[in-house]
Amino acid sequence: MSQPIDTLGASDSLLSYEEKVSLDKLGYASIGKLLSDDELYAIRNCVQAVLKDEGDQAGHELFSSKRIKHPKEAGADRLANLANKGEAFDILYTHPKLLSAIRHVLGDEFKLSSLNYRSAKPGQGLQKLHTDWPDAVEPGQYKVCNSIWLLDDFTAANGATRVAPGTHLCGKTPEESMDDPWKHHPDETLIEAKAGTVVVFNSHCWHGGTTNQTEHPRRAIHSYFCGRDQIQQTPQKDWIRQETLDRISDKAKWLLDV
């Protein structure tokens, strides 16, 4: 029987064998440069406009959430609730190849949890290795899956995300396994790729930001998904704007669960 997700174009056939193996075994996969230069330009401009508009309120939907606590991070600028902040952002949660990869990890029944911007500030941005779920889960029992849309090239110097390959399969959190999750993990690898690339990672795979050692911000948008039975990080029904409802398709509304 066809599922709502089928109508969004999410299909196993959009993923290569290597991408699927990478998601299964390593816990992450680059699914390619999905943004054109024009789209990248429009998204960066939109981010700048929202940052300017919101000033010290930037990211307030994330930090004020009563259901899922997210403390402010001194080393990074944030924006939240981007599904409601401009048409340029729509592609970041509706792209069929992205949805194919999320479906590969979470199955047919998922929705957007949040669409947030994170920029590692110069000289800052280090995060401890973490999962995006409070507890370890059994392999295959995945609740959440994230993706990073690179707005700048990610390099070893500018705070590229680190991941510990295969840790989504180990049934432990970094806290349970490491003396100090802030420290380097012997197996960790950096996600280095060009701006416009999308990297999907199983959120149960240990990951975190690294220090941006350059003089420029390292910008990215996280398009984060959860099972349909989970609480969204941004409860979309609470934040949805009429202009968004007027703009987006019924399929996108299903993804937002509004």
Ligand X SMILES: O=C(O)CCC(=O)C(=O)O
Residue 27: how many CB atoms within 10 A of its CB?
Answer: 26
Residue 149 neighbours by CB under 8 Å, 6+ apart: 34, 35, 43, 92, 196, 197, 198, 220, 221, 222, 223
Between 4 and 122, whose beta carbon lies closer to ligand X? 122
Q: What is the radius of gyration, based on Cα positions, of the chain? A: 17
Contact call for residues 31 and 199 (beta carbons, < 8 A): yes
* ∠ CA 145-5-237, rounded to 5°: 70
Instruction: Name the minimum Å distance from CB 207 to ligand X.
Output: 5
Instruction: Name the minimum Å distance from CB 210 to ligand X.
Output: 7
Between 10 and 220, whose beta carbon lies closer to ligand X? 220
Between 106 and 240, whose beta carbon lies closer to ligand X? 106
Instruction: Name the minimum Å distance from CB 220 to ligand X.
Output: 5
Positions touching ligand X (CB under 6 A) are: 118, 127, 161, 207-209, 220
Largest CA distance in the chain: 52
Least Cα distance to 256 among 114, 149, 132 occurs for 114
Between 85 and 219, whose beta carbon lies closer to ligand X? 219
Instruction: Name the minimum Å distance from CB 137 to ligand X.
Output: 17
- Retrieve residue 62's tokens: 């994330």
Between 101 and 220, whose beta carbon lies closer to ligand X? 220
Between 130 and 253, whose beta carbon lies closer to ligand X? 130
Beta-bridged to residue 219, according to DSSP, are: 119
Instruction: Name the minimum Å distance from CB 163 to ligand X.
Output: 9
Q: Dihedral of CA 210/211/214/218: which sign?
A: positive
Q: d(Cα 25, Cα 201) in Å, to the nearest integer?
A: 11
Instruction: Name the minimum Å distance from CB 190 to ligand X.
Output: 10
